[in-house]
Structure 1
Amino acid sequence: MEKVLGFIGRYQMIVSGDKIVAGISGGADSVCLLFVLLELREEMGIEIVAVHVNHGLRGENAKRDEVFVQELCRKHDVKCVVYHENVESISKKRKQSVEEAGRVVRREAFERTLLACGGTKIAMAHHQNDNAETLLMNLARGTGLKGLGGIQPVAGNIIRPLLCLNRREIERFVEEIGCGFCQDETNEEDDYTRNRLRHQVIPVLEEQVNAQAVRHMNEAMEQIRGLQDYMEMQTEQAYQDCAAKQKDGGICIYEAGYRKLHRVLQGLLIRRCLTRAAGAERDITMAHVEAVAGLFEKQTGRSRDLPYSVKAVRNYDGVVLKKKTDVQKKGFSPIQLRVPGITRVPELNLTICCSILEKSVDFSAKQAPQKTYTKWFDYDIIKGDLIIRPRQGRDSIVIDKDGRSQKIKSYFINEKIPSEERDCVPLIADEKQIIWILGYRMSSACQITVQTHRVLEIKVTEEKSDVREDYGFSTRKRS
């Protein structure tokens, strides 16, 4: 008991007046947890609410455990809340393993109770053997520094007072106080990964490598957690310096800053950005981190598919991580422009006003507006109707007075327009050619000259949001 109380004090897990929601399954570890909390109830005046979850998996044995927990709590004047769940059905609906679904259901039950009773903390009965199993699973599946730190003694409002004890110490304590406990027969089966590690791997380590293997693994994890705290601060600083959330929801890791980081910090930064883009951390491995890192050595446009529907795309600035639904931007439908007249393009939130101006006697090309979204064109050169549309395969634009042209694709590459944004850049075209890459440049073939008789003025305005912001328009080069 002294060992546990010292551990609780070291991490400041519990303070006077806390209302603790404790997960009590009826097993030796949760019974031990309950008695530790009962000791603190006397010393610190805390309040205890026990939560028991019947998973609906073990029939009469599950009912036996439920009754045991209720009786134990009644005996010690502890409020007990019982939840009945069909974990097998939930696992199918959520497309999770039964083991994972059970873990999530328990956590949800604890959180609901915490909210309902006005609790301050959730106490869970994880111990050193659980932590060793977690470390081995993380190592086998692939993990970063956080995974090597194992289970945290304190994580938000969750506390784990028994992480200083191994399974043998817990069972010995329960025997000494003369309290029985429940045996979950499924823990003896090897159907789950954790059980196989418990029965087949850890005993070999203890018997054939070192009897204190579990303790040594926990000591190493404690040191790693200290290192992790330091690296957490460094990683957050790197995120502030080298990455930024974009308006479309993606996160860009800028190459200039990324290259200056130590290799270890580069990996931690990628993991941080990937986790934030995905909205989850589970199942993100070193293989995924390395896949993103590899994109910095690839050409623009290369990409990698990652967990949680995240796609990493190499662009001119670095690597962007975003959900595929954000990556796959919609184009827009072609619309014929009214000349003269006003045309609205709802998909782009644009209004386009076309006017035909007669050239005055004292006309000069210098009178043409020098505005990004207002342009003058030689109307007599334009053939047929004008339309606003996305790019097409063989599009090109005349770039000088000699009639030389450049493919739109090449122009976009030279202007460093990200590949995923190119289908959203509007083009205005007649029956023969592109006359204006909206927001970038107009065709040299349609510029007004001294021979021009009629001037077509096209003025573009946005209806809701800044056009350049929404469609990737740039102010780098205008003509």
Structure 2
Amino acid sequence: MFSKFQDHIVSRFPFLESKKLFLAVSGGLDSMVLLHLMKQLPFEIAVLHCNFQLRGIESFGDQEFVQKYCNQNDIPFFTTQFDTKAFAEDYKLSTQVAARELRYSWFYELLDEENFDYILTAHHADDNLETFIINLTRGTGLDGLTGIPEENDRIIRPLLPFSREEILKFAEGNNIEWREDSSNASNKYLRNKIRHDLVPVLKEINPNFLDAFQKTQSYLQESQEMVEDASIMIYQQVAREEGEDIHFDLNQLKKLPNYKSYLYQWLNEFGFTAWNDIYDLVKGQSGKQVISSAFRLLKNRETLILSPLSEESENEEFEIQENDTEVNFPLKLRLCNVDHISIESNKAIFVDSEKIRFPLILRKWNEGDVFHPFGMQGKSKKVSKLFKDEKLSLIEKEKTWILSSDNQIVWVVGLRQDERFKIENTTNNILKIELQ
């Protein structure tokens, strides 16, 4: 197994050469074999061990066991302890999900603190099979069927080609000691139930089932790569990125016979789960939307607009003082005195300085806001009516700011100036306010 493992490292992960590597070691069979293998290769390694305090004194026994091994072999050792049950209760997570969240958060923290490059974990072929079956039972797309990735960001899983049986034989043949996790014997967890009850039946039906499964995984991964390539090409035809927003052209999208698949491929990374609602948006009424934890998908006429949810308070106001020449938040504005009016655009206004009262207030628009549009000779108009005339989407409306002076609107920023502050023949000082 060592020669096979060494060849796999060289061929599959050549970029690991001269890198500093953490090994995630629980003390169990798989991670102790990984540690034994990596110790024999010319890498700079250190060990990470998480004590989740889920099995009482047994958890501390695991920690002591791994630490003793590292001390005896001059391997740097890092450990931490988590109150996993309390974390799971606080954040309404299952124990397993809580442990994973805590583990990987600490892993990435250590990578940066200790200036290491990658973390190696001991997931193997049987783990991959169990994950596949779990995803299959819950309902999943192609992503869930392609299994555990060998490389994911800075996490490397070099034992994935090896079965639990191979790893056990290697450990026994090389007198490698390990700790048995008593919770692995229980069918309390779905993974254990699959491991103990279902997988043995599959292997009984076909003794080479694991090899056949790995071939299937390879085919699925190739199919996934084809899907991703097609998704990128179609995205370039259908989508247009505007700042933080993405606009999907529905006229182009609806020409695709399988547009739902493309929407899933493009949007699943943004945390959406209500897929039927998303698919209904395509033919739904303008103004309808679907929201994830951090993003919104809005139907606006013949466009779907994906945008991040704003974290700004709708009631928050920002003051601009008389001596301010630049504003960098929440908008970038430049204020300066000029002696003449240049070419006008919606990105800049020119106002009579003597009509302005400081501080100016920058705020989001409110329902019921009224102003006197420039050029309408004193007639008032609701800001909401301006939005309707300009055919703004809900997202565009929410991103619109109001600049006011003494509770009077000076500028619907980027759209229309107020008539009351315009330059007159008698104006002595002209203030230019420009949106950068």
**SS of 1:347 mapped into structure 2:** strand
CA distance in 2, matches of 1:50, 1:424: 48
Deviation at 1:187, TM superposition (A): 1.5
Query: What is the CA RMSD across the aligned residues, in angstroms?
Result: 3.9
Match of 1:294 in 2: 280
Deviation at 1:459, TM superposition (A): 4.6
CA distance in 1, matches of 2:168, 2:91: 35
Match of 1:322 in 2: 307
**SS of 1:48 mapped into structure 2:** strand
Deviation at 1:374, TM superposition (A): 2.7
Deviation at 1:458, TM superposition (A): 7.3
**SS of 2:40 mapped into structure 1:** helix
Which sits farther off after the overlay, 115-124 or 45-54? 115-124
Whether 1:256 and 2:251 are equivalent positions in the alignment is: yes
Q: Deviations over 1:78-117 (max 9, x none)?
A: 2221212211222233332211121122223322333333
**SS of 1:304 mapped into structure 2:** strand
**Ranges in structure 1 where 5+ consecutive residues have no aligned partner:** 279-283, 333-339, 355-372, 392-407, 428-436, 442-455, 467-479
Which sits farther off after the overlay, 10-19 or 146-155? 10-19
Deviation at 1:27, TM superposition (A): 0.7
The amino acid that maps onto 1:31 is M
Whether 1:194 and 2:191 are equivalent positions in the alignment is: yes
Whether 1:222 and 2:197 are equivalent positions in the alignment is: no
Residues 462 and 327 (structure 1 numbering): CA distance in 2 closer, same or farther, change over 3 Å? farther
Aligned residues: 377
Match of 1:347 in 2: 363
Deviation at 1:155, TM superposition (A): 2.0
Whether 1:418 and 2:413 are equivalent positions in the alignment is: no
Residues 462 and 183 (structure 1 numbering): CA distance in 2 closer, same or farther, change over 3 Å? farther
Whether 1:213 and 2:209 are equivalent positions in the alignment is: yes
Match of 2:114 in 1: 117
The amino acid that maps onto 1:318 is T
**SS of 1:375 mapped into structure 2:** coil
Deviation at 1:316, TM superposition (A): 1.4
Match of 2:374 in 1: 374
Deviation at 1:34, TM superposition (A): 0.9
Which sits farther off after the overlay, 148-157 or 189-198? 189-198
Work out the percentage of aligned pairs sharing the same amino acid.
26
Deviation at 1:157, TM superposition (A): 2.3
**SS of 1:122 mapped into structure 2:** strand
Contact 1:187 1:195 in 2 (8 A): yes
Q: Deviations over 1:41-74 (max 9, x none)?
A: xxxx211101111111111111111121122223
CA distance in 2, matches of 1:67, 1:239: 52
Normalised by the size of structure 2, how large is the TM-score? 0.73
Match of 2:13 in 1: 12
Whether 1:267 and 2:248 are equivalent positions in the alignment is: no
Normalised by the size of structure 1, how large is the TM-score? 0.67
Q: Which structure is larger by alpha-carbon Rg, 1 or 2? A: 1
**Ranges in structure 2 where 5+ consecutive residues have no aligned partner:** 318-353, 403-411, 424-430
Match of 1:32 in 2: 33
Contact 1:242 1:254 in 2 (8 A): yes
